[in-house]
């Protein structure tokens, strides 16, 4: 059911189609903001004189954001008139967007739900009986970089393929049961060296060893992944914005909880202060 209240349109995607709403606004040359809201997700579509000019849905922008909303099966649509001018990021006309959305939207949304961010990591899995997939040159190019360490962003960089192409391959192989997501990255709290820790010892060349002290429970979690069943020899620390990183050896201790104890020189190199968060993952 669609209802009009004080120049606002409210409806649910289980009752109305996004295509019908966009056609209605195009015919009426409406200007304003159409918002789609569902648990854990929101999309904002801006319309000027019936033309869809700007769209955003989480990390998706422009045409991709519109295409994704066509795949939603639930959510509320709200329209509020607004005359504010925005920079355009939608390149296709309404008719083309509707055609592509009705044809590709459901699959595109499932793929984005399966791969919600470029920080997702995959590992190979044992497919169910009868599972089949076709592996061409593109699939092999992507598959050779799936190693329980590289995330989607790094696979895109390594393959030099378009991000959309890499995501499609990962989605297809995952849906068929040949890949599974693995969550090995953890958020930890940076601290300086502990008293009487390994940092008080010097390497043969006289330098402080590049070692991070972590809670032993982290290694227990990481050993659940086949890649690290025998233990973790190297870890990578990243700043939250992924702007800086460092790879070093871990030393696992009990009772450290979320704290990671690092040489002060490394804290300086990463540009973080004690008490700030870092991301850590095993790499070897």
Tokens 């920080």 appear where?
119
| Integer Rg of the chain from CA | 24
Tokens 């470029």 appear where?
118
Identify the segments of the chain with pLDDT beneath 50: 1-7, 199-208
- The per-residue pLDDT for 3 is 42
The 3-state secondary structure of 55-124, one letter per residue? EEECCEEHHHHHHHHCCCCCCEEEEEECCCCCCCCCCCCHHHHHHHHHHHHHHHHHHHHHCCCCCCEEEE
Contact between 247 and 234 (Cβ < 8 Å): yes
- The per-residue pLDDT for 242 is 84
Q: Among residues 101, 82, 89, which one has the least CA distance to residue 25? A: 82
Q: Who contacts 131 (Cβ-Cβ below 8 Å, separation ≥6)?
A: 176, 177, 178
Look at the domain 186-282 and name its fold: Barwin-like endoglucanases (2.40.40)
Whether pTM exceeds 0.85: no
Look at the domain 121-182 and name its fold: Arc Repressor Mutant, subunit A (1.10.10)
- The per-residue pLDDT for 194 is 81
- The per-residue pLDDT for 205 is 47
Domain ranges of the chain: 3-113, 121-182, 186-282
Distances (CA, A) of 78 to 7, 37, 89, 192, 202: 10, 8, 21, 50, 64
Give tens-digit pLDDT for 184-214. 999 999 999 886 555 444 444 444 457 899 9
- The per-residue pLDDT for 201 is 43
- The per-residue pLDDT for 11 is 82
- The per-residue pLDDT for 2 is 44
Whether 121-182 and 186-282 share one fold: the answer is no
- The per-residue pLDDT for 37 is 93
Q: Among residues 283, 277, 191, 212, which one has the least CA distance to residue 240? A: 277
């Amino acid at each position: 059911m669609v209802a009009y209240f004080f120049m606002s349109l409210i409806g649910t995607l289980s009752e109305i189609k996004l295509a019908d709403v966009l056609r209605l606004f195009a015919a009426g040359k409406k200007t304003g903001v159409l918002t789609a809201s569902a648990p854990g997700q929101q999309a904002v579509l801006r319309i000027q004189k019936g033309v869809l000019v700007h769209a955003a849905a989480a990390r998706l922008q422009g045409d991709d954001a519109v295409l994704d909303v066509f795949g939603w099966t639930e959510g509320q649509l709200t329209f509020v008139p607004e005359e504010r001018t925005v920079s355009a990021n939608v390149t296709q006309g309404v008719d083309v967007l509707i055609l592509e959305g009705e044809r590709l939207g459901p699959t595109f949304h499932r793929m984005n739900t399966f791969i919600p961010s470029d920080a997702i990591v995959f590992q190979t899995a044992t497919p169910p009986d009868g599972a089949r997939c076709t592996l061409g040159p593109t699939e092999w190019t992507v598959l050779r970089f799936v190693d329980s360490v590289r995330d989607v962003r790094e696979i895109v960089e390594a393959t030099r393929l378009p991000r959309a192409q890499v995501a499609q391959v990962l989605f297809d192989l995952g849906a068929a049961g040949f890949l599974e997501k693995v969550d090995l990255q953890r958020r930890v709290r940076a601290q300086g060296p502990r008293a009487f820790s390994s940092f008080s010892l010097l390497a043969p060349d006289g330098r402080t060893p590049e070692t991070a002290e972590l809670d032993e429970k982290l290694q227990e979690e990481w050993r659940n992944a086949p890649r690290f069943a025998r233990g973790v020899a190297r870890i990578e620390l990243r700043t939250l914005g992924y702007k800086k990183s460092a790879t070093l050896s871990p030393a696992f201790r009990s009772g450290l909880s979320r704290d990671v104890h690092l040489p002060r020189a490394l804290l300086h190199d990463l540009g973080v202060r004690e008490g700030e968060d870092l991301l850590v993952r095993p790499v070897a």
